Chain A
Amino acid sequence: MKNDPVSDPKSAVSSVHDMRYMTVILTILLAGLFFVSLMVGRLDIGWKEIRTFVCASLFGTPVAPELSSKALVFTLIRFPRCLLAVFVGMGLSISGAVYQGLFRNPLVSPDILGVSAGCTFGAALGLILPGNSFMIVRILSFAFGLTAVCLAVGIARMIAVRPILVLVLAGLVATSVFSALLMVLKYMADPYNDLPAIVFWIMGSLNRVEWNDLYIIMPVVGAGLFLIHVLRYRLNVLSLGDLQARSLGMNPTLYRVIFIMISSLMVAVTVSTCGQVCWIGLVIPHIARTLVGPNHSNMIPVTMLLGGIFLLAADMLARSITAAELPVSIITALTGAPLFVYLLYKNRGSGWI
């Protein structure tokens, strides 16, 4: 009985803080994978070449003329794309974790408030409009993503009973409204040019990345991740429900608004850049919870790192599995769905489904 970890209270205190080794392992894994994924792709780039390119862009050292096209591919496509994968993976998985904590619902993901549907509709609208500028696509996508959140939150506030359930239902309403509007656009779109563009947008992919996207994504997602990381313990208390949160001295409404704003903003920014990358927001938090338990103090950093690793790996597969590149969302769905079933099976009976 003495050595039983469940009943030994000493290990109860220490083990909570022993989760740090997990963060260290995952950080190393992420860094390693990032380096490997820089080399993987249609164009072979070795690690020596990477060193040359990095030196070249940092210190302006000259690049041999026969390498100049590779250097362009590396600095303009490969490197920003890997960076994007990490940020998008982290942002989506953390928003999923936040929504699941806030709504005390394991089946919730960033799509729940209609964010993804709104963003997709906005993007499609931008693609149909004359002019075909990607900036317009991005702005519209972002604007409609936020509109969808405001719509959902507005409906929930108007009804004002059983807020947790009603917000989820209101999200469903927003989602279906924007999906229907998207349908209208698809129906009206020119089937030779616009329709394929819309369809490809909806299949999330990282291949459209430019440095300009990263200049928006990095600060927004970076700041969001930082804020959520800093406030993460409050998710534990919020998940007990409003009554207990208030008796523990917190203002649950205020924190709910803060968390929803931050995570919706992160989702809107990522979807407006690379379309819908599904399953990450749902599956990654579950993996993290299985690895280190539901305490958000440990679980949020692990979710963040796993999200980065997962999308980076999925994008690597998408780039190399077939001669023509696959949209990364196909990979995430094909791997995420069975993984989710496995996690549901493994965590059955823990009182949390």
Chain B
Amino acid sequence: MLPNLRKYYRPRSIEATLRLLSANPVRCAVLAGGTHLLASSRRDVEEVVDISALKLKMVKRKNGDVCIGATATLQSILENPRLRKFADGILVEACHRNSVSRMIRNQRTMGGEICANWKRSDLAAILLALNARVKLMNFSLEEKEMLISDFWSMPAFRTGKKGSGLVFPGLLLELILPTPAPPFAAAYVHVEQIESQPSFVSSAAVLEFDENRQCGEARVALSSFADVPCRLPRLESFLKGKTLTPESIESAGALGFDEIRPLVDSRASGTYRQAVAPVLIRRLLGRCLKRL
């Protein structure tokens, strides 16, 4: 519940939306599905702009990319037959795992997850591994595309400043997922005690190979491992040019992540996270090997 909410808008155009947001960027929040915002009981929010009428729900293919509108719900993504096999199904798998609650998946949007829950979302690792881009529009109605990693590096996300309605000055319109170049293999591996729990640690990989089955582009990411979801550059460069074999996978797993300070929270200690992350990496790569 937002105790101080006074105004609700449901504009029908992006222009009107941005006008409303720019008029009061501090006390006005974007309302997509609301699963994070309305569960937050934030006292700083006085206005919300519901973007559900903006026709941003679509999922389409464009030039080999998959474009997912900001207000597409996680349930609609996982029900979309065209996405079922996309990137070996890891996107759909992570959407399903995001919450065991059908209600939540019916409400929660991709845009909301990217803006409000990216720090602890398994989807963040998936999107990093897929090298996702976001399409934004700023208050001057200029469209802009950027890598999702750059998006999350924006100051508003980094500082996590409380008491400001908007996470960035503008509107997230779309998520763009490039289709990995075949032959490729993708995998998503996570660890938790029971299905309904958020993952203690999760990991995703997209590996592209050349015709000799040597790894070309490799993107591996972890979520809920460090303070923020992160790619693993050392591991990625290790994989480059390698063939996946049980032996190379073992060496990759043994690389370790000494450079990353692990997260400590109510679920697990940093020590545990450090102990299981290599296991996840080995399983992740093992699964890629199986899929190749």
The answer to whether A and B interact is no
Chain B residues with a Cβ under 8 A of chain A: none
